[in-house]
A and B are shown apart, each in its own frame.
Chain A
Amino acid sequence: MAEKTYLQAISDGLREEMRRDERVFVIGEDVGVYGGAFKVTLGFQEEFGHWRVIDAPLSETAIVGGATGAAIMGMRPVAEMQFADFVSCAWDHLVTVAAKQRWRAGTPVPIVVRLPSGGGFSGGPFHSQNPESWFAHVPGLKCVCPATPEDAKGLLISAIQDPNPVLYFEHKHLYRRIKAEVPDERYTTPLGKARTHLEGDDVTVVTWGAMVYTAEEASRELDGDGVSVEIVDLRTVLPWDKAAVLESVRKTSKVLVLHEDTRTGGFGAEIAATIAEEAFEDLDAPVKRIAAPDSPVPFSPPLEKAFIPQVDDVVQGLRELAEY
């Protein structure tokens, strides 16, 4: 075990899979000589060469469409969108081609698309989004949103092994901020299984990605109030671990669904609806949602602070639930 940043853990996982399995290759913009906009693939081209670490033209459609073709021909492509926001340019190839090909034509598409996502550093409307909910609505895709370095590595390896198209949302605000112990050996973390980030008895927070840490900070502020918070980190949004969420809700009877993406139609709505359908009798308070307001992601710091759910927002929400 060694302490690694979230970014280093992603890089390690990818490099290990490329060493282990020569079918795995990387394609994206500036992933080669430059090592990727965030340096996840730094040094990869020296080790694996130009045909396994492919600097693509500025062509998200061709990157994801090309990855799809290569995957059907037996490769295991890992495509990088420079920012998750740019995946809109490859929408068709994920939603129209990759997601439906196994179901209708019997040809699986084992691709991973890495999506540096999330805000918190004035990236503005086109470098800050969390578009997991767009894709969580598409049968045939999988959506992974790791929060810890250990999960970042294990989930990436699982995503590469998975026979389906997997969107791997890596939160940019966690890249260098979050450090933790990561096993040195190869391991996989199963897709579709949540993780209890913090055990507690009084209120459950269901969240993923960077909001796991926002929830954690908020829970510490509630220690003095004697409110014990349980944090369920979904880790995978599609498929999501309904059983783990319902189990925690049954234990605490109060639940806050928290995400960085905007509120209306965000994946939190699906979680809240499921809890209402399947655990209504276990609830002692209405399900609460905290999410970004329904606007594009703003640039200027005070606006961005008003957009991204803050620790204080979560503290207030938890207190309201505790007092209900």
Chain B
Amino acid sequence: MAVREAEPLGSLREVKEAGLDREDLLGIYRNLLITRGVEERGHILYRQGKIPGSFYTGRGNEASAVGVATAMGPDDVGTPLHRDMGVHVTRGVEPWRIFAQYMGRADGPTKGKDGNVHMADSKLGLLAMVSHLPAMLPVAVGCALAFRIRQEPRVAVGWFGEGAAARGDAHEAMNLAGVRRLPVVFICDNNQWAYSTPTHLEYPIEHLADRAAAYGFDGVVVDGTDVLAVYREAKRAIEKAREGGGPTLVECQTLRMEGHAVHDDAFYVPKELFERWAERDPLERFRSWLRENAELSDDEEEEIAGGVKRLLNEAIRRADESPLPDPASLLEGVYATPEDLDTPHHK
């Protein structure tokens, strides 16, 4: 059974119909640049020895992450993963805090207690991932359950990769969401490689989104390098969920353009595959589209790129000024206090 394959967005008119004006488009472009910039600069910091542990990037997945996050409403929540820096950026996390997190500093969102992309600002509606994938899918379903119980017009977005789709958490989460028609959207970052394992060793069907039918909801496959197509499909799915139409499984097809983490040179990925997908670089695609369809000028491009550069320079400077955590803070927060429940979500 074939799922629907999303069509690319053509003209500015179509994009307007999908709810984006020109300013939104430039905002998306800026978020794409910040996303890639944060990871490129992070990689440099890692090579300089300023980042402990390992380092992961989502190169190739920027459009998928930014496109989905742009489609989310302000009160919606999500559980982005390690290829989804664009979600954090789009929801408004300040880049200096991301660098502080990378560097294990006291001002990182986890105050040095957890590393790399294991972070999230709950005030921005994001929940911090764990390494056990896709453990955050049942959690996203639980968020949606709370919205359904309270009859709030909010939606939860849960991310997973095509590798994690093989684990039982994915099945249990989608099945419960399907049974209860919960307001949740499942986003599969299908970047074709789970560490060194290709898709045909992870699942035996053509599209992961085919599985949606088994859970009683819709699936759609979208080109994850086309930020506007991703946005439109995510928006449809999110608004459908908000209106009581139940979950959707959106499979964003990309290629992981680097290794699993910095130690991995991805020798197992055929060179031609990298070359083919490099031609579909999500940033370059959108830049070209903006020039052709939205009259993006050289001046504007320079202004946006310059602004991002300054933002990141300042972010790294500020993060580097952040102190390392006090060893005495190790035990802080192992247990929550009643005051800790005074958050926007816990109420």
- Enumerate chain A residues within 8 angstroms of B127, measured Cβ to Cβ: 69, 72, 105, 107
Contact A70 B143, CB 8 Å, known A92-B132, A108-B346, A164-B335: yes
What is the minimal beta-carbon distance from A64 to any residue of chain B, in angstroms?
Answer: 8
User: Measured between C-beta atoms, what is the minimum distance from A42 to chain B in Å?
Assistant: 21
User: Is there contact, CB below 8 Å, between A69 and B141?
Assistant: yes
Q: Most chain-A Cβ atoms within 10 A of its Cβ — which of B118, B139, B143, B345? A: B139
Cα A196 to Cα B346 with chains together (Å): 36
Contact of A72 among B114, B132, B143 (CB under 8 A): B143
B275 within 8 A of A: no
The CA-CA distance from A66 to B340 in the complex, in Å, is 21
Q: How far is the CA of A279 from the CA of B118 in the complex (A)?
A: 42
A244 at the B interface (CB under 8 A) = no
Determine if B315 is an interface residue (Cβ-Cβ < 8 Å): no
B341 proximity list for chain A (CB < 8 A): 108, 110, 163
**B69 CB, nearest partner CB in chain A, Å:** 18
Mark the stretch among B170-178, B190-198, B228-236, B242-250 that contacts chain A.
B170-178
Q: Determine if A75 and B146 form an interchain contact, defined as CB atoms under 8 angstroms apart.
A: yes
Interface positions of A from 146 to 166, Cβ below 8 Å from B: 163-164
- Given that A59-B175, A61-B172, A105-B122 are known contacts, is A69 also in contact with B146, CB under 8 Å in the complex? yes
Instruction: Answer yes or no: B338 CB below 8 A from chain A CBs.
Output: yes
CB contact under 8 A between A65 and B141, given known A51-B148, A70-B149 = yes
Question: Within residues 105 to 132 of chain A, which ones have a CB less than 8 A from any CB in chain B?
Answer: 105-110
Contacts of A164 in B (CB 8 A): 335-336
CB–CB A67/B142 < 8 A: yes
B 311-347 binary contact with A (CB < 8 Å = 1; else 0): 0000000000000000000001111111011010111
Q: A28 CA to B334 CA in the complex, in Å?
A: 27
* C-alpha spacing A231/B325, complex, angstroms: 44
**Cβ contacts under 8 Å, B180 to chain A:** 54
Interface hit among A11-19, A96-104, A207-215, A291-299: A96-104
**B340: which A residues are within 8 A, CB to CB?**
102, 106, 108, 163
Asked if A301 is an interface residue, CB under 8 A from chain B, the answer is: no
Q: In the assembled complex, which residues on chain A have CB atoms less than 8 Å from the CB atom of B306?
A: none
Assess whether B143 is in contact with A73, with CB atoms less than 8 Å apart: yes
Which chain B residues in 214-257 approach chain A with CB under 8 Å? Answer: none
Q: Given A59-B175, A107-B343, A108-B336, are A66 and B141 also a contact pair (CB < 8 Å)?
A: yes
Residue A289 interfacial (CB < 8 Å): no
- For residue A254, which residues in chain B have a CB less than 8 angstroms away from its CB? none
Chain B CB within 10 A, most for which of A25, A51, A104, A109: A104
Q: Which residues of B contact A (CB under 8 A)?
A: 77, 109-110, 113-114, 118-120, 122, 127-128, 130-132, 135-150, 156, 168-169, 172-173, 175-176, 179-180, 332-338, 340-341, 343, 345-347
18 extra A-B contacts, CB within 8 A, seeds A69-B138, A71-B142: A57-B175, A62-B173, A62-B176, A65-B142, A65-B172, A66-B142, A69-B143, A69-B156, A70-B143, A75-B150, A92-B135, A105-B128, A106-B122, A106-B340, A110-B346, A142-B335, A163-B336, A164-B335
